[in-house]
Copies of this chain bind each other. A is one copy, B any other.
Amino acid sequence: MDLPSYITGLCEGEACFTVSFSLRRKLRLGIEVRPSFSLSQHKRNLEVVKLLREYFGVGGIRFSRADQNYKFEVRSVRDLIKAVIPHFREYRLISPRKRDFDRFAKVCELVYASKHKSLTGMRRIIDLAYGMNPSGRRRYKKDKLLRLLDKVKE
């Protein structure tokens, strides 16, 4: 078995690349951006979740009592850049999720290069994120975030 190819197959069906936003008054732009990569499995598949953690060597595992799932998640932008993104660049997804991944990777790179601290950078990030297939409901409409930025002084 070729482990990297197995990992991509597993993630094809089940992984989530998400970019979420929170309003934070303390930040100059008022918006925090948080990319995360995750995969949930029913608790009986804990072994698979552990394998994923071991393979990437970053991130954490937590249990959700509500849906009896273990979730592997990487939230550190540095870890996403160093471990997760290179994997999916080499072992490409096949489904349209690969386009979400490309946008996700771009967002991580912008954040890693501190571009989210500039108005232009944050607008580009919001554009990329809202072009992704949402996994779950979005807390804010795109317009609301962009209007917030309009009020920030350059």
Residues in A lying within 8 Å of B, measured CB to CB: 1-14, 41, 44-45, 47-48, 51, 91-92, 94-97, 133
Contacts and interface: CB of A to CB of B under 8 A. Distances in A.
Contacts of A41: 13, 95
Copies in the complex: 2
A54 to B, nearest CB: 12
Contacts of A45: 12-13, 95-97
A10 to B, nearest CB: 4
Contact of A92 (B1, B11, B12, B92): B1
Nearest to A44: B96
26 contacts: A1-B5, A1-B91, A2-B2, A2-B5, A3-B5, A4-B5, A5-B6, A5-B9, A6-B6, A6-B91, A6-B94, A9-B9, A9-B10, A9-B11, A9-B12, A10-B12, A13-B41, A44-B95, A44-B96, A44-B133, A45-B95, A45-B97, A47-B94, A47-B96, A48-B94, A48-B95
